[in-house]
Structure 1
């Protein structure tokens, strides 16, 4: 007998509810900015984490010239990947309930938390050319979504995002010259051309820019601390280098997908058998393997009777899968 599933996660305080017009706007334009979604405390936690990373990078620069605290930054990395796997605050940021409230409404009800990136972008640094996120992180079905959390004021001067509204309806343009990079069925399109140098900041080099040019002029997305931009994984988007001399552009960017998707990606360059066992189940439920939060961050999963005789598979640290039965009160 089939199992009944009412897609409702366990209740939690301060839940953010998404409006129907917001849902429609996201799926029409490919992005949705929710102002003031994160509290000052939540922003402060992530901002402090960004500062720890910035100062840690600086402390490793033994030959940083001069007394200017920015001098050593310009030759340093501008982003840190997957802090959520090694830091409790980063995990809490990726699993922020109010961010997941919106994700649950836009692509849920079942949600995997996949990836985190801390961007620092000091003066004169940063920037990424036109790209589509599913070009890099593949899910099948293709349900990827990004959440871009501003940790301070972000504008055109210090490198805010630019988007091409409506470009989320485009397919993912595959990379040229090698296999394994396709999101869509191979040979299913008559005119889906490959692209080169995606994310390169020079539009003359990044051939995806030729597709972007078919759209009306892109728009910038200024943000304030605590605002969150949710964007579709097919959306053409980019940023420019920080043009200021005295401001950073700190942001925390996470990616999620529907937990019913098969995910060959696990951040470590792995594409092949399922990488689902590395992904945290953040909302709802799934028939796929999954991971639990490594630092015990509370997540609000399917709130219902899950007492049928069907079995779930949970990923272990060694990559093996173990059958488990989840009870409502576990």
Structure 2
């Protein structure tokens, strides 16, 4: 563990993360950094051709999985909300208010997102979590649109981004205040200690889970309400979710997922199967 570096965690923070499976790091991003990220996304949306996008759903993942989704692992791709379209098949509102997320290689292909994602404070944070040779395996700009922002059902990140041994950590940055009313994260504290529940398998027929989802009790989840600029660390085995955004306020976030490549094997059944290996953020 290396302390004293930009972004590095204190022993108390690491203890909380190990115990609860998540951690809120307040004021991780400055107002200028947030504005830079959001302005850049506005520019990408302005240039985006609606006819090239797909629909994203955590409820009907097999139905909505296609080549566009697979290829997004190494591209900047756009995914619509399920409720963005009317019965006539046309968008019910402007494209800027219809997009669910943009992913999954913003950190790699866009200079603004790349500069932020590879900054020293991310490396310092990961060093304090004992990552030896970390890579960002995916990045997403998530909109959680007012009124139609879709539910993300309970899940574990290791189901989708599995290494042997498991090493995934989610780094979820609030670009706007995230509250119960506009669809903040919810988690079952300590649930990461129970290990991985199921795996999201890619094969010749598409993608599917290897077993049904367990039933979860709403009372076991706690809301993780955070201010803009706060970073939420999410253990790869933590059960977490977010509900629909039925409010009039959006809940923009930038999320990256990191895995270690030092002595760890990327699963051949993960949905992400890259043609070019990502560059490590650093090598200890």
TM-score > 0.5, shorter chain as reference: yes
Q: Does 1:262 align with 2:284?
A: no
Structure 2 counterpart of 1:157, from 168, 174, 181: 181
Give 1:49's aligned residue. 40
Q: Deviations over 1:246-289 (max 9, x none)?
A: x211110001122312224698642xxxx69622211234xxxx
Higher strand share: 2
Alignment of 1:14-33 (within 5 A): 15-33=6-24
Higher helix share: 2
Change beyond 3 A, Cα 1:31–1:139: same
Change beyond 3 A, Cα 1:71–1:83: same
Residue pair 1:78, 1:125 contacting (<8 A) in 2 also: yes
Structure 2 counterpart of 1:72, from 83, 87, 94: 94
SS at match of 2:234: strand
Give 1:93's aligned residue. 116
Change beyond 3 A, Cα 1:74–1:239: farther
SS at match of 1:85: helix
Structure 2 counterpart of 1:172, from 196, 201, 205: 196
TM-score, normalised to structure 2, is 0.73
SS at match of 2:123: helix
Residue pair 1:30, 1:232 contacting (<8 A) in 2 also: yes
C-alpha displacement at 1:195, in angstroms?
3.1
C-alpha separation in 2, matches of 1:253 and 1:34: 14
Give 1:327's aligned residue. none
Give 2:140's aligned residue. 117
SS at match of 1:118: strand
Structure 1 or 2, whichever has the larger Rg, is 1
Please, what is the CA RMSD of the aligned residues? 3.4
Residue pair 1:32, 1:229 contacting (<8 A) in 2 also: yes
Give 1:195's aligned residue. 211
Aligned length: 240
SS at match of 1:44: helix
Residue pair 1:263, 1:276 contacting (<8 A) in 2 also: no
Alignment of 1:245-284 (within 5 A): 245=248, 247-260=249-262, 261-264=264-267, 269-270=272-273, 278-284=277-283
Q: Deviations over 1:83-139 (max 9, x none)?
A: 223211121232132123212211424322221111112112232000000100111
Higher alpha-carbon deviation: 161-170 or 98-107: 98-107
C-alpha separation in 1, matches of 2:199 and 2:219: 24
C-alpha separation in 1, matches of 2:174 and 2:196: 26
